[in-house]
Amino acid sequence: MIHDLNDDVLAYAEAHSTAEWAILKGLRRSTWQHVLTPQMLSDPIQGRFLANISRMLKPQSILELGTYTGYSTICLAAGLQPEGSIDTIEPNDELNGIQDEFWEAAGLLTAIRRHNGEALKVLPELSGPYDLVWIDADKARTEQYFEESLSRLRIGGWILVDNVLWWGKVLDDCKEQDPIAAILERLTTKLASDSRVRTTLLPLRDGILMIEKIS
Window from 7-16, 84-93, 106-115, 142-151 with minimum mean pLDDT: 7-16
What is the residue-averaged pLDDT of the chain? Answer: 94
174-203: pLDDT as tens digits: 767 899 999 999 999 999 999 999 999 999
Q: What was the pLDDT predicted at 180? A: 94
The count of other CB atoms within 10 Å of the CB of residue 68 is 23
Is residue 47 pLDDT above 90, yes or no?
A: yes
Look at residue 77 and tell me whether its pLDDT is greater than 80. yes
Residue 117 placed within a domain = yes
Range name among 41-45, 54-58, 75-79, 151-155 with the lowest pLDDT average: 41-45
> What does residue 126 show for φ and ψ, rounded to 5 degrees?
-115, 135
Residue 78 lies in a domain: yes
Residue 2 lies in a domain: no
Question: What are residue 153's phi and psi, to 5 degrees?
Answer: -100, 135
Closest among 127, 190, 121, 197 to 159, alpha carbons compared: 197
**Which pairing describes strands 197-202 and 130-135: parallel, antiparallel, or unpaired?**
unpaired
Residue 117 phi, psi dihedral angles, 5° rounding: 165, 175
Q: Is residue 194 part of a domain?
A: yes
Residue 196 lies in a domain: yes
Within a domain: residue 23?
yes
Residue 2 clears pLDDT 50, i.e. is over it: no
Distance (Å, whole) CA 85 – CA 112: 6
Write the pLDDT tens digit of every residue in 99-124. Answer: 999 999 999 999 999 999 999 999 99
Q: Domain range spanning residue 40?
A: 8-213
Q: Which residues pair with 201 in a beta bridge?
A: 209
132 forms bridges with which residues in the sheet?
62, 158
Would you say residue 75 lies in a domain? yes
pLDDT band at 9 (very low <50, low <70, confident <90, very high): confident
Tens-digit pLDDT profile for residues 48-57? 999 999 999 9
Residue 60 has pLDDT above 50, yes or no: yes
Q: What is the pLDDT of residue 93?
A: 97
Residue 167: pLDDT over 80: yes
Bridge partners of residue 198, in order along the sequence: 212
The number of beta carbons lying within 10 Å of the beta carbon of residue 8 is 8
Is position 1 within any domain? no
Predicted confidence (pLDDT) at residue 8 exceeds the cutoff of 90: no
* Predicted TM-score (pTM) of this structure: 0.94
- How many domains would you assign to the chain? 1
Which CATH number does the domain housing residue 148 bear? 3.40.50.150
Residue 3 has pLDDT above 70, yes or no: no
